[in-house]
Amino acid sequence: MSSHPAADPGARRNGPPERHAYEQALAERGIRLPLPHRAGWSQARRRVESLWVPLRAPDGSYTGAVAADAAPTRSLPGYRHLRVERLGETLPRTVWRDAVAALAALARQEARVLLLSVEVFSRDPETRATLGALLTEAGFTRAAQPRNWGVTLALDLRPSEAELLASFSRSLRQRLTGIAKLPVAVRPVDDERFAPRLEELTRQAFQRTGGRYEARWDWAGVIALSRRSPDASRLVGLFRTDRDGTDALLGFAWDGGTARARATSQEPRRGPAICKSRSLTRWSGISSVGRSARELIGSTSAAFPPERPAPPTPSAGSPTSSASSARRRSRSLRTGHSSRAWCPPVSRRS
């Protein structure tokens, strides 16, 4: 009998209790799946189905799991595009080959699949190279155009908050410490009644910057996901303390490991003053994670009220870094082949 792990036959869909139990069992073994591979991820997306394949050893023990988002493709109506994000971030090396084989089988076994793209993500160049070789061996080819970024800023959060603040520029420190003079506060967005406001902020940003808006996120699902999995998803908001109601939310920052939202609100009546607090929202997104993590890898998406017309919003896949204000203390790490999407020769079934 082979000692290598194997994929369970067939893909599971979305997030039944079985999937939550499986994730808990993996966590107890020290294997924490990236957010796009967790059951709750499907609750945050609109019109996207989550397919997942558990991996088990021959003795039945849990060894890992891989997941793919399935969404309709505009290229050929009636067909779907499968997308795998952040492959390689937490999977043990012993299951890499089986994980790649499971994904190739998924593309061939699922009906009406036009394309499967796999985005390799790791700080270790050897990991990226090895996974790339395994994907090539399984019949995948390098995508002509990368979908995501290949470099991520990393900010070391082991120093104290005071030390980190001291490393920032004087103007940034003044923005952060002067926030007490303004009627605003940063706190988690943990109430689903703010979901329409988050959607409104996002829509306004695209309208103002001329972008094409697609309602991709179920913000009530994002809020519930952040409440249930604070280790993987953090959603904080900038609130006016002199107002009640959902319009008190002026901006937000969501860190789900990769940039997820691009938004700014319309100019408020006190724009010049409140605008200065935008750095606080970014800083809160970092420091709140830093209390439970030694290092933050990734980027925080943020929405802020602009004092004047905002610059063009970064395109999808070009993250606004939560650590950008601390470039002197941060390191630029090549983290992806996102960079490297892989497209296998799939059998198409009607």
Domains and CATH numbers, the chain: 6-150+336-343 (3.40.630.30), 152-333 (3.40.630)
Q: Which residues pair with 298 in a beta bridge?
A: none
What does the pLDDT read at residue 158?
Answer: 83
Distance CA 111, CA 116 (A): 12
DSSP letter (8 states) at residue 45: B
Tell me the HSE value of 46 on the side-chain side, using a 13 A CA sphere: 8
Q: What are the residue ranges in the chain where pLDDT is below 70?
A: 1-10, 14-16, 148-149, 256-350
Q: Which residues pair with 295 in a beta bridge?
A: 156
Predicted TM-score (pTM) above 0.85: no
| Cβ atoms of residues 249 and 189 within 8 Å | yes
What does the pLDDT read at residue 6?
Answer: 55
Residue type, 22: Y
Backbone angles phi, psi at 278, to 5 degrees: -60, -35
Residue type, 205: A
What does the pLDDT read at residue 12?
Answer: 76
Tokens of 199: 């959607």
| Cβ atoms of residues 115 and 104 within 8 Å | no
Look at the chain and count its residues: 350
Sole residue written with tokens 């700080």: 123
Tell me the HSE value of 91 on the side-chain side, using a 13 A CA sphere: 29
What does the pLDDT read at residue 197?
Answer: 94
Distance CA 315, CA 172 (A): 25
Query: What does each C-alpha distance from 121 to 189, 251, 296 come to in angstroms?
Result: 28, 29, 15
Query: What does each C-alpha distance from 170 to 85, 151, 179, 201, 320 come to in angstroms?
Result: 38, 27, 14, 30, 21
What does the pLDDT read at residue 104?
Answer: 92
What does the pLDDT read at residue 175?
Answer: 78
